[in-house]
Amino acid sequence: MKRTAATSSPFTGVHVGIIMDGNGRWAQSRGLPRTAGHRSGVRTARKIVEAATRARVGTLTLYAFSSDNWTRPTPEVGALMRLLRRSLQIESKRCLENGVRLSIIGRRDRLPAALVVAIQEAEALTAHGRNLHLRVAIDYSARESIMRAAAHAGSEPMTRERFTQLLAQANHDPFSIPDVDLLIRSGGEQRLSDFLLWECAYAEFYFTRRMWPEFSEEEFLAALGEFEERERRFGGVPAQAAS
């Protein structure tokens, strides 16, 4: 697949969502604490963001911390919050250098104050990035987002476009985000886990048994290549049947 120039990429404008699963299991299988897996997962995320930028992917949404993850042991949650804050402070500078715009979606009222400050600073620093829109979901639940959007619908006539706007507002996202084109999940599980339910209505799925720390740029590009070969009908009939 030729990717020698930005204009030649078939992925310009494509929205890829990734459920980065398997950090803890990867660490435990090696006799390491689960937090070591999360730190390794951050390094993998960095490589995939860089690969997505080179491939001219339009939007990349990473599932970093779900609303259900609050039920994990308190020490692990605390370590994750600190890791997210440090990662935002470091990775936002990389995003700035590479023209990546960083947005955080999900609730903020339950996050530590220091993390909220880091979010605001990272978003402001990268606000002018145009090469890739990187969205990171923290304290995110698709079902809760849909419920909050519905609660603010009011009496105006409802359209998909209008509801999508309300959904963006519910997630602290000021942008009109296209639907997910390709959903990737690592770790061997084959479910959405409350991630981008509205936006994944016609997403193509790619599941891999590799744990997230093992996920490579090569497999990411292979997933994009497989996506390019799929026929997307959006409820229509196959092209050959219609001809």
* Residues tagged active-site: 21, 69
Please tell me whether residue 156 adopts helix, strand or coil conformation. Answer: coil
DSSP 152: T
Torsion 119-121-124-130 (CA) sign: negative
Taking the C-alpha atoms of residue 216 and residue 3, their distance in angstroms, rounded to an integer, is 18
Contact partners, residue 89, CB within 8 Å, separation at least 6:
118, 121, 122
For tokens 């016609």, what's the residue? 202
Which helix (H) or strand (E) element contains residue 74?
Answer: helix 74-97
Q: How far apart are CA 32 and CA 168, in angstroms?
A: 38
Cα distances from 166 to residues 5, 56, 62, 132, 198, in angstroms, run 36, 28, 21, 23, 12
Q: Is 193 left (phi over 0), alpha (psi -120 to 50) or beta?
A: left
52 Cβ partners below 8 Å, 6+ apart?
16, 60, 132, 134, 220
Q: DSSP code of 146? A: H
